[in-house]
Amino acid sequence: MFKCDKCGCEHNSRTVCPKCGAPVVIVNEDYLLRRQQWEEQQKNNLRYKKKGENNASGLVSVSDKSSHKTSGRAGRQEAFDKNSSEALTNKKAEVTIAERFVGFKNSFLSKLREVKAASTEKRKKREKEKNADDLKDNRREQRIRQKRRKLVFAVSIAVGVAVCVGGVCGGIAIYRGIDRSDVRYFDGHQLISINDGVLLNLDRNGESYSLLTYTEALNAALLGKIGVEAGGSDDLLIGWKDGSENILVSDMGDITDEYVFSQSGRCIAYVLYSEPDEKYFLVLYDLGGSKYSVYDSDRRIKIVAVDDDGRVLFDELETGDYSTVVGMNFYVADLSKKLLIAENVKTADYDERNDEAVFIIEDRLYLCSVSDAVLEKYDDMISDREHILVNGGVDSLVDNVLDKSLLYITESGLWIYENGYSFPEVEKANAYDEFYYCGDGKLYYRNQNKLYYACQDIKEIEQAVKSARKDGNTDVQENLDSIQAKKATVVFEDIDGDIVTSEDGTIWCVSEDGRLFSSAAGELDSDVTGCIELIGTSGCAYVKDENLIVLNENAGKSKVLVENVKTDKGSGFAVFSSKKYLYYVDSSSVLWKIAKNGKERESLGFASLVGFYDN
């Protein structure tokens, strides 16, 4: 329903009002245009209305005049009615034509608006659909672009990681491929490096020095001037390490045969004796820091060990007639003080792995930590509370060639102290045997020309410890003492020459009839005339049919290195292995350098000492 704005009539027409003919105004659709059209229509209606009034008044006056001119009232009335009727008819006709024109016009405009509105709606719908499609396409493209970016990022990361890994692996390979090893040797007068040439000359300034002691790698040495009395020269003793020299203190007395380097060669301890004063002087010197300390004693001093931290363990021996030892005290000293560890010891040693002093008092074996934390607590003497009792009934300490654990002899046989516990290993062993303890209860030892093997059950030992702790027994050692020692069996006989070991702990030896034996693989070859230690890698070198053969690793393939070689199996020299070369000394004490591919062979000259230094 619509309501006319002019007369208020309610109707259903969308064009004009059926009562007054006014155009229908649809709210909010082209309102200004319709308003203008309506105002023009009102002006037209007003103009038509005024014209009709003028026509009506004119007829009346003409009629009045005619009534005076014509004859009779009836004639005038008839004329008036006729004119009025014609005027009314003309007026209605004019109004009808105008209304039709306006209605047509309004209908046309309304249709035009409807068509325009429909077109606009369709256009907006198409634009909306297009926008929706564009949005979908944009989202799809964004997802595709995002996936592409992620893929590119992932590929970039993968490539970067691959490059980094490749670079690191390549760097590691290059680093590992760099040969940092160095073979050094004395030719009688000079210490020579195969990489750097002459490192140390014993003949200097018209004077000669002797080589008193040195490290195994020949990276440090102690030199003493020949034929010069103590106090006669400022450079009687020289400490040399990796190219640097220190003139050592020596004016208190003459150098004795007691001098020991630490493992790396950083520290050295030596003993001087002053005959007029009847005093011994222990000198501890740090070659790296050029610092030293001197401790004097009325007793003879025997050096036990020197470590790289600047500590020395030594015995002070009380001697009787004919220099017989009647008493021994065990000491530790650093650059600041000297401490007594124990008095009246029978044997003393040093466990470098655990930084502990090892000693026997009467028949009891003790351990005592000599770490900095312990030394800082005391001024003159380490308390007995620091002593740890290992076992009783101990006869002596024995050397473990592989240096893996502490070994000692009791009446029942050989015992091993490992990981804080002591257990019996093998029965019927004595201190004169050569022991090679490999760890995990596995032991080889040589008695005369036979090689024995025994293995203790480590699981049984662990079970004994657990059982003692479960029962609340604080003395775990009681359970371990109840374990039975194993009986050794012979694994190789008629050993000829020395037993050699490789870096992985494998034992190698040769029998009198030329059989080559390995503790890892058994018998490997025959007709072998000599077994030589291979330093710098795992394996062994040996001589067969006058050929020097290198066997890398335990089960590796043997390779003839040198043909028609002359070696002296009793010379004590080893074969040294670097990345690309092998070095060995023949029976004439000539050092040879040989490429591992067998294509190069060079004589380096006479060698009285040979050492392998690995940076």
pLDDT at residue 19, as a whole number: 79
Q: Which stretches does DSSP call E strand in 287-431?
A: 291-297, 300-307, 311-319, 325-333, 338-342, 347-351, 356-361, 364-369, 387-391, 394-398, 406-410, 413-418, 421-426
pLDDT at residue 231, as a whole number: 45
Per the prediction, the chain carries an average pLDDT of: 81
pLDDT at residue 570, as a whole number: 43
pLDDT at residue 39, as a whole number: 78
Q: Which residues pair with 247 in a beta bridge?
A: 238
pLDDT at residue 62, as a whole number: 41
Widest distance between CA atoms in the chain: 202
- Residue ranges of the chain with per-residue pLDDT less than 50: 54-71, 171-178, 230-233, 555, 570
What would the pLDDT profile of 481-498 be if each residue is shown by its tens digit?
888 889 999 999 999 988
The span from the first CA to the last CA of the chain, in angstroms, equals 108
Measure CA 425 to chain center: 39
pLDDT at residue 207, as a whole number: 81
CA distances from 530 to 1, 86, 545 (A): 128, 159, 10
Packing angle of the helix pair 31-69, 73-177 (nearest 10 deg): 170
pTM greater than 0.85 (yes/no): no
pLDDT at residue 58, as a whole number: 47
pLDDT at residue 449, as a whole number: 92
pLDDT at residue 319, as a whole number: 86
CATH class for domain 495-614?
A: mainly beta
pLDDT at residue 172, as a whole number: 44
pLDDT at residue 410, as a whole number: 92
Sign of the dihedral defined by the CA atoms of residues 387, 390, 394, 396, in that order? negative
What would the pLDDT profile of 328-339 be if each residue is shown by its tens digit?
999 999 999 999
What would the pLDDT profile of 321-369 be if each residue is shown by its tens digit?
877 888 999 999 999 999 999 999 999 999 988 899 999 999 999 999 9
Q: Which helix (H) or strand (E) holds 114?
A: helix 73-177
Residue 523 CA to residue 98 CA, distance in Å, equals 135
